[in-house]
Amino acid sequence: MKVLITGGAGFIGSHLSDAYLERGDEVHILDDLSTGSIHNIAHLKNHPRFSYTIDTVHNRAVVAELVDGCDCIVHLAAAVGVKLIVESPVKTIETNVHGTEVVLAQANKKKRKVLVASTSEVYGLSTEVPFREDGNLVMGATNKGRWSYACSKAIDEFLALAYWREKRLPTVVVRLFNTVGPRQTGQYGMVIPNFVREALANRPLQVFGDGTQTRCFGYVGDVVGALVKLMDEETAIGEVFNIGSSEEISILDLAERVKMLTNSKSEIVFVPYEEAYEVGFEDMPRRVPDITKISNLTGFQTTYTLDQILETVITFMNGSAPDAKPETAQAEKVQVA
Quick check: 163 and 112 in contact, CB under 8 A?
Answer: no
Position 307 scores a pLDDT of: 97
Position 143 scores a pLDDT of: 84
Name the region of 304 (left: φ>0; alpha: ψ -120 to 50; beta: rest). beta
**For domain 2-179+218-243, which architecture applies?**
3-Layer(aba) Sandwich (3.40)
- Distance CA(250)–CA(257), nearest Å, equals 10
State the burial class of residue 166 (Cβ atoms within 10 Å of its Cβ: 0-12, 13-18, 19+).
exposed
Position 148 scores a pLDDT of: 87
Question: Which of these is catalytic: 123, 149, 163, 219?
Answer: 149
Position 328 scores a pLDDT of: 33
Position 320 scores a pLDDT of: 52
Position 336 scores a pLDDT of: 39
Tens-digit pLDDT profile for the chain (337 aa)? 999 999 999 999 999 999 999 999 999 999 999 889 999 999 999 999 999 999 999 999 999 999 999 999 999 998 776 666 667 778 888 889 999 999 999 999 999 999 999 999 999 999 999 999 999 999 998 888 778 889 999 999 999 999 999 999 999 999 999 999 999 986 666 899 999 999 999 999 999 999 999 999 999 999 999 999 999 999 999 999 999 999 999 999 999 999 999 999 999 999 998 888 777 788 889 999 999 999 999 999 999 999 999 999 999 999 854 444 433 333 333 343 4
Quick check: 150 and 161 in contact, CB under 8 A?
Answer: no
At 322, give phi and psi (nearest 5°): -55, -35
Q: So what CATH class is 180-216+246-286+303-318?
A: alpha beta
DSSP state of 40: G
Specify whether 149 is catalytic. yes
Residue length of the chain: 337
Position 337 scores a pLDDT of: 43
Cα separations in angstroms, 256 against 53, 110, 248, 278, 296: 41, 51, 14, 26, 34
Position 315 scores a pLDDT of: 95
Position 323 scores a pLDDT of: 47
Domain extents in the chain: 2-179+218-243, 180-216+246-286+303-318
